[in-house]
């Protein structure tokens, strides 16, 4: 696994974990990386110093492949839980999230689609939102 310091076009700083640098390049090229704060797809890597531990050369990533599999399985379970227990509201997500936040709609878990601009506005207004983990086939 490799950890990148990332930032979006609104200068929100966050971290992303990837199986390899080519995984980052692939996901970035397919538009699968978004800012978790505003949903912007305009994400770039920050300059960062490599993490160096000891003088021995390591033969591969810091995290064993089985750990990556466990992490992907956990993310898949999170997504499955949301899909099974939350209400799908489609492209009305931003409107419904705002209505719930303002007490104008029933308090409940929801998921759906929103544009990066809608997500940014929700975050600016203090409406709690977070991206849903991608489906396993979207990552591999």
Domain ranges of the chain: 1-49+60-65, 86-132
- SS3 for 91? coil
- DSSP E strand boundaries for 19-77: 43-45
Give the pLDDT confidence score for residue 96 in this predicted structure: 95
In tens, the pLDDT along 47-101 reads 665 555 554 544 445 667 777 788 888 888 888 899 999 999 999 999 999 999 9
Integer angstrom CA distances of residue 34 from 95, 117, 131, 136, 138: 20, 12, 8, 17, 14
Q: What is the pTM of this model?
A: 0.53
Q: Taking the mean position of all CA atoms in its chain, how far away is CA 25?
A: 15
Give the pLDDT confidence score for residue 138 in this predicted structure: 58
């Amino acid at each position: 696994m490799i950890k990148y310091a990332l930032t979006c076009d609104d200068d929100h700083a966050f971290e992303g974990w990837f199986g390899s640098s080519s995984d980052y390049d692939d996901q970035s090229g397919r538009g699968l990386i978004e800012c978790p704060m505003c949903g912007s797809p305009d994400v770039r890597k920050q300059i960062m110093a490599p993490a160096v531990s000891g003088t021995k050369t390591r033969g591969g990533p810091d995290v064993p492949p089985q750990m990556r599999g466990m992490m992907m399985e956990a993310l898949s379970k999170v997504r499955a839980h949301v899909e099974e227990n939350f209400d799908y509201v489609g492209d009305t997500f931003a409107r419904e999230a705002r209505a719930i936040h303002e007490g104008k709609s029933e308090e409940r878990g929801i998921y759906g689609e929103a544009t990066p601009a809608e997500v940014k506005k929700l975050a600016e207004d203090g409406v709690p939102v977070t991206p849903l983990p991608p489906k396993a086939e979207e990552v591999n």
